[in-house]
Amino acid sequence: MLFSEVAESFAAIEATASRLEMSSQVAALLKKCKKDEIRPLIYIIEGNVAPSHEGLDIGIGEKFAIRAISQTSGHSEKAVLSEYKKSGDLGSAAENLLSKKSQMSLASSPNTLSRAYSSFVKIAQMSGTGSQESKISILSELLNGATPLEAKYLIRFCLGKLRLGVGDPSIIDALSMMKHEGKADSQIILRAFNLCSDLGEVAEHYIAGKDLSHFSTQPFKPIRPALAERLPNAEEITKKLGKCAVEAKYDGLRMQVHLSSGKVEIYSRKLEKMTHMFPEITSAASKLKAKSAIFEGEALAYNASEKKYYSFQQTIQRKRKYGIAGMARDFPLRLFVFDLMYLNGKDLTLSPYSSRRKTLEKVFANTEPLVPSELIYTDDPKKLDNYFTNLLGAGLEGIIAKDLSQPYVAGARKFAWIKLKKSYGALADTVDVVIIGYYLGKGQRQEFEFGGLLAAVLNEETGEFESIAKIGSGFSEDEMQSFEKMLDEIKVKEKPKGVNSKLTPDFWVKPAYVITVAADEITLSPMHTCGMVGDTGYALRFPRMMSLRDDKGSEEITTTKEIIEMFEMQKRRKE
Ligand code: ATP
C-alpha cells in the first residue's frame, strides 16, 4: 500500500469526532493491508515504531526535522521556522511548504507503507555520533517521495506527535468490525492484547484467522496489570468475597519480572523496561529454581539496621541521590511478590488465585529479597478491620482483598481484587488525574509564572478527558518551577482534541502528565464536565497535589465511572 493512502485515511480519521466512525476508517485501512503491513500500520497508528515495552523511540528533534523539511522543500530553515510558528504544528508547516514546491524530485519514487516503516525503524535504531545527520538524510529521502499530505503525517510521526486520537480500544473495535459488522470479537481480542501488550501481534494473528481464545502469556511480553476495585469498608468486602485473602498493601513500586533461561527483564506498571535500575532484583530472580517465570510484586527500599521501609517517593528520591549502584548497596530493595502468572512454560493466568498463591509460596520460599506478600485469610469483617488497622499502624497503606476463586484479570479493574486504603478526608482513595492546562501565578507566585493546574479524568465511554479540578495547592516552590518548565514544553494553542472542559486555563497542554491528587470529597459542580448531566458535573473539593505519577500514562488515570462510584461510596464510608 502507498503511504499516501495511509495519509489520506489519517486525514479522514482526524476530521471525525465519532469513535465508531474512526474505528470503521481504521478497519477499512486494515482491510487494504497485505499480511506484512498489518503490524507496521497498527504501530504507526499507536504513534510508535514498536510496542512501548521494546523501548524503541524514533526520537527526532524539531531542529533536525526542520532541517529535513528545508532540504526537501528548498526553503531556508528560517522560512520553515516561521511557517511553523504560524500554526504551532511542524507537520502542517511541511505540508504547506511542500505544496508550494513545483515538482517532485526526479529521483524519488512514491513511498510505500513498508518503506516508510522500515525507515522509521532505521531512524529509531540509530545512535551515537553522526547519527543525527543520518536520521535527517533518511527523513529527507522519505519527504522527497511524499505528497504534501503525507509529509504532514511523516513529520508528526517522527516528532512523536501523530496524535490521531485513535486509542487501543478503537483499534480493537476496528479489528472486530473487519469480520463482523459489530463488536462480536472485541472481548477475545482484548484478552489477547492484555496478555501480551502487543496489538500489532494480536492484529496479525486475528486477521490471519488464528483462534485467539487460546492465546497465552510468554516471557518478555509484559502482561497488562490487574487492577483493584474499591469498596468503602470491611463489611462490604467480606459480603462481596466471602472468605478471601487479605494482603498487605505496600506503597512501593510495582514490578513485573520475566525470567527465561537465565535472562531477566523487569517492567514497570506502564510496562516499560526498567531492568538496569534494579540489579539486586535481577540477580535474585536469575537465581530462582525455575526455568521460566512471570511474577509481580511491589518493591520497597529496606533499611535493615533500622528495620524500616521507605515509600515509593523516598525510594525514587534515594535512587536519584545515590545512583543505581549506591542505592542497591545502601538501600537494597525487597520485592513483595503478590502474583505468579507463568511458571516453567505454563500460563497460570486462568488458574484461581488460591492455586497461584500456593505455587507462589513454594517458588518464593527462602528467596530473599524476593518475599511473598504478607496476608491473612478471613471472612470475618472484624478480623479484616483489625488487620487493616494494624497494617496502617505499621506505616502501610491498607489492604488488598483477593477473591480466592478468580483468575489473574489482566488489564482490568474487577472485583477479583478490592482495595481498602487509609482515608483521605471522606474519600476512599486518592485520584489520578491528567493535567490539561495551567494558570499563571498571581501575587506572590508571580515570579514562577505558575499558578495552578486544570486537571481531568477519563470518560472511557466517550474516550474524552473531562475536567474535574482546578488545583492550586500542594506544590513546593521547586515543583512549581519544574511544572512551569515541563508544561511549557507541551503547551498547545487550542483545547486539544478529546478534552472536554467548560473552564479555559491560561494555557492548554497536551494531556500527558499524570498526578495523584487528594481531596476532601467529591461534590456536584456547574464548573466541571466530569460525568455531566444537564449542567452539573462532579468536582474535587479542596484538591491538593500529592505526587507526579510518572509510572502511569494518561489512559490509566481514574475514570469518570470510578468517580461516580466513589461519590456513591462516600455516602456509605465509615469514618
Ligand atoms: P491502580 O494501580 O489501581 O490504578 P494506583 O496505582 O493508584 O491504582 P492503588 O490504588 O494505591 O494504586 O493500589 C493498587 C496498587 O497497589 C497496585 O497497582 C500495586 O502496585 C499496589 N500493591 C501493593 N501491594 C499489593 C498487593 N499485595 N497486591 C496487589 N497490589 C499491590
pLDDT tens per residue, range 512-525: 999 999 999 999 99
Task: Identify the weakest region by mean pLDDT among 301-315, 367-381, 406-420.
Answer: 301-315
3-class secondary structure per residue, 363-417: HCCCCCCEEECCEEEECCHHHHHHHHHHHHHCCCCEEEEEECCCCCCCCCEEEEE
Work out the mean pLDDT of the chain and round it to a whole number: 91
The reply to whether ligand 1 has any atom less than 6 angstroms from the CB of 227 is yes
Domain covering 227-421: architecture = 2-Layer Sandwich (3.30)
More confidently predicted of 221 and 428: 221
Residue 55 has pLDDT above 60, yes or no: yes
pLDDT of res. 395: 82
**Dihedral pair phi/psi, residue 307, rounded to 5°:** 50, 50
Residue 273 has pLDDT above 90, yes or no: yes
The reply to whether ligand 1 has any atom less than 6 angstroms from the CB of 270 is no
Distances in Å between the alpha carbon of 291 and those of 115, 220, 262, 395?
39, 14, 7, 36
C-beta separation of 425 from 519 below 8 A: yes
Every domain of the chain with CATH number 1.10.3260.10 lies at 3-159
C-beta separation of 229 from 428 below 8 A: no
Q: Which of 97-101, 163-167, 339-343, 422-426 has the highest mean pLDDT?
A: 339-343
Every domain of the chain with CATH number 3.30.470.30 lies at 227-421
**Dihedral pair phi/psi, residue 359, rounded to 5°:** -65, -40
pLDDT of res. 511: 93
From ligand 1's centre to the CA of 228, what distance in Å?
7
Mutational test site, ligand 1, from 295, 400, 424, 431, max ligand atoms within 8 Å of CB: 400
Every domain of the chain with CATH number 2.40.50.140 lies at 431-574
What are 325's three cell numbers?
Answer: 549502584
Return the bridge partners of 398, or none.
249, 421
Confidence class of residue 447 from pLDDT cuts 50, 70 and 90? low
The reply to whether ligand 1 has any atom less than 6 angstroms from the CB of 249 is yes
C-beta neighbour count of 195 within 10 angstroms:
25
From ligand 1's centre to the CA of 304, what distance in Å?
24
CATH fold, domain 3-159, is DNA ligase i, domain 1 (1.10.3260)
Task: Identify the weakest region by mean pLDDT among 156-165, 251-260, 325-334, 488-497.
Answer: 325-334
Per the residue annotation, which of 152, 249, 270, 402 is the catalytic one?
A: 249
179 is an active site residue: no
Return the bridge partners of 337, or none.
297, 372
Q: Which amino acid is at 178?
A: M
From ligand 1's centre to the CA of 225, what distance in Å?
10
- Atom number, ligand 1, closest to the C-alpha of residue 254: 20
pLDDT of res. 219: 97
C-beta separation of 501 from 529 below 8 A: yes
pLDDT in tens, 15-39: 988 888 999 999 999 999 999 999 9
Residue 245 has pLDDT above 60, yes or no: yes
CATH fold, domain 431-574, is OB fold (Dihydrolipoamide Acetyltransferase, E2P) (2.40.50)
